[in-house]
Amino acid sequence: MSDNKKSQFHRAEIAVQEKLGVADMVAQYSEGFVRPAMPNQHREFFENLNMVIVAMVDHEGYP
């Protein structure tokens, strides 16, 4: 991918995209699709969902 500075994805996501050979395609098709912030309508929806967050770490302390 030639210009990662404008990407809405973080470095690890871009690295996976590049490894799979789809970084340019993802950049092209996700432009304008992934927003920098969540719209209020979506925030309200997610705030009203019942959920439980469960996390564990391995023997080395990694998630």
The predicted structure's pLDDT at residue 3: 47
Are the CB atoms for 24 and 8 separated by under 8 Å? no
Rg of the chain taking only CA atoms, in angstroms: 16
DSSP state of 49: S
pLDDT digits (tens, 9 = 90+) for 24-33: 999 888 877 7
**pTM of the complete model:** 0.48
- From CA 60, how far away is CA 62, in angstroms rounded? 6
CA dist., res. 56 & res. 43, Å (int): 26
* pLDDT digits 0-9 by tens, 4-50: 456 788 899 999 999 999 999 998 888 777 777 889 999 999 999 99
